[in-house]
Amino acid sequence: MNWLSILLKDMGHEPPVVPWENLVADASARDGFVRERAVIAIAKTGSDAALPILLARANDWVVQVRQAAYAGVGLYLTGQYIQAWAMALDELVALDRAGRTDHSPLLERIKSFLSTPENLCVLKESSRPRTADVARWLFAFELAIPLSDEARFQQLREAILGADIVVASAALSAMSMLSPDRRASLASEACASAFSSVRAAGLRAVLTGASPASESLIRTMCRDASPNVRALAIAELKDDREGLSEELRTAYRTAGSAKQRAVALDVLCSLGVDDADLLCRTASADRASQVRAVAATRRFGLVDGMACDQLVLETLSDRSPRVRRIALARIRKGAQPPNAQALLQLVEANPAAFDLLARVATYLSPWDRVEFLLSATAHFVADRTFLDGASRELRMWCADMSRCFVQPSLQQSSNILRHWAAVRDGLTLDLQRRLANHLRDFRVLA
């Protein structure tokens, strides 16, 4: 019971007791007068459970309800209620983000009360599970409080090495609050973050700092899981590139995990070893798709012309979607896609690749594309799942044909007619009608 309730009771004005459940329900009632009375009554209870309700109603759409909630929240700005604040952080964060009206005067009072070292310690050590929003709010709140250089360093270090990328990135952006020596130490700590973007930013800070980066750190970052981080480190590697190459060659041969082999292969190629092409060709048969993906990416950087066209076909035949997507990316950048017959052979060998091969077919002429779609559908017309996917692609072809002015060749028309006759009856009537309309428009059908 708070001081106001005690004073009223001593004066003989003790109100009738209303069950707590009723007060909570009334605080969300549709009638603003009911909500206002409930908020006043809830505030008078002095209960820790009242604070979240008061904070929620502080953003009420009725001015009088907000004012009552503001007054009620003010009663909780004393040390005896700090545990209640620790349990109401979700509602406080929601109020801080609310935009119905300007809550800054109330929020400044609250933050001023919570900003003492003792209160902040209670908030951080609360046993209640902390949401990401609350953790981020607490970090930003603590960031605005003056701290010693050592305390600030520990705060930022903990955030950078934590499990929240938003907090880690914000901590790295706050490095300027530290002394130069601490700043350099924090940048080095960031190179051990769980997030590649933070590691990359930390490494950039190390490389552009006043003190030269240590060779051991650069060599360590050359083996990072992120290609961006590795590229930064390799570009700064000055001495003993040959020694690093030998280390990674050994790691590639003996590494147990696919990730380690993939990183080693990629770094060897980045270092420009003489047998990079041979290594990648050998790695194209690796059992791990991660390694084959690195090999395919690197091989595309070494070939052009007909060799690139052949590599596209080879990569599209890979059993892994990860590797096949690399070939699709090269086609999007201008590589020549395989023709309709080659795509059909690929889908016959691996029906699961149809969706990606259908994307490849969009880079063919519209008539080669529909020839591939119809021929693939004819081959798997008994497979209901495949037919559904093929029907979806045929509808997309129909939609794209509204922008087509290319006439089919006689050979294309002949092939399309043959496949159309084989699949027509397996398609829905609506799709049959739409396809037939386009085929008639270009005189493929009479």
Ranges of each domain in the chain: 1-128, 146-239, 355-446
Q: Which two tokens stand for residue 276?
A: 């990079």
Radius of gyration of the chain (CA): 33
- The residue type of 319 is R
Task: Please state, in angstroms and rounded to a whole number, the distance separating the CA atoms of residues 80 and 90.
Answer: 20
How far the first Cα of the chain sits from its last, in Å, is 90
Supply the pLDDT for residue 7.
59
Task: Please state, in angstroms and rounded to a whole number, the distance separating the CA atoms of residues 224 and 218.
Answer: 10
Supply the pLDDT for residue 103.
92
Q: Which two tokens stand for residue 179?
A: 């002394």
List of residues 6+ apart from 51 with CB closer than 8 A: 73, 76, 81, 84, 85, 87, 88, 91
Task: Please state, in angstroms and rounded to a whole number, the distance separating the CA atoms of residues 35 and 22.
Answer: 11
Contact assessment for residue 368 and residue 361, using Cβ atoms and an 8 Å cutoff? yes
Supply the pLDDT for residue 4.
56
List of residues 6+ apart from 362 with CB closer than 8 A: 369, 400
Task: Please state, in angstroms and rounded to a whole number, the distance separating the CA atoms of residues 179 and 150.
Answer: 10
Supply the pLDDT for residue 24.
84
Name the nearest CA neighbour of 68 among 17, 26, 118, 121.
26
List of residues 6+ apart from 396 with CB closer than 8 A: none
pTM > 0.85: no
Supply the pLDDT for residue 76.
93
Supply the pLDDT for residue 19.
82
Digit-by-digit pLDDT tens for the chain (446 residues) are 556 566 556 666 555 567 888 888 888 889 989 999 999 999 988 899 999 999 999 999 999 999 999 999 999 999 899 999 999 999 999 999 988 889 999 999 999 999 988 888 888 887 677 889 999 999 999 898 888 999 999 999 999 999 999 999 999 999 999 999 999 999 999 999 999 999 999 999 999 876 777 888 888 999 999 999 999 999 888 777 888 899 889 988 887 789 999 999 999 999 989 899 999 999 999 999 999 999 999 999 888 888 999 999 999 999 999 999 999 999 999 999 999 999 999 999 999 999 999 999 999 999 999 999 999 999 998 888 999 999 999 999 999 998 888 999 999 999 999 999 999 999 999 999 999 999 999 999 87
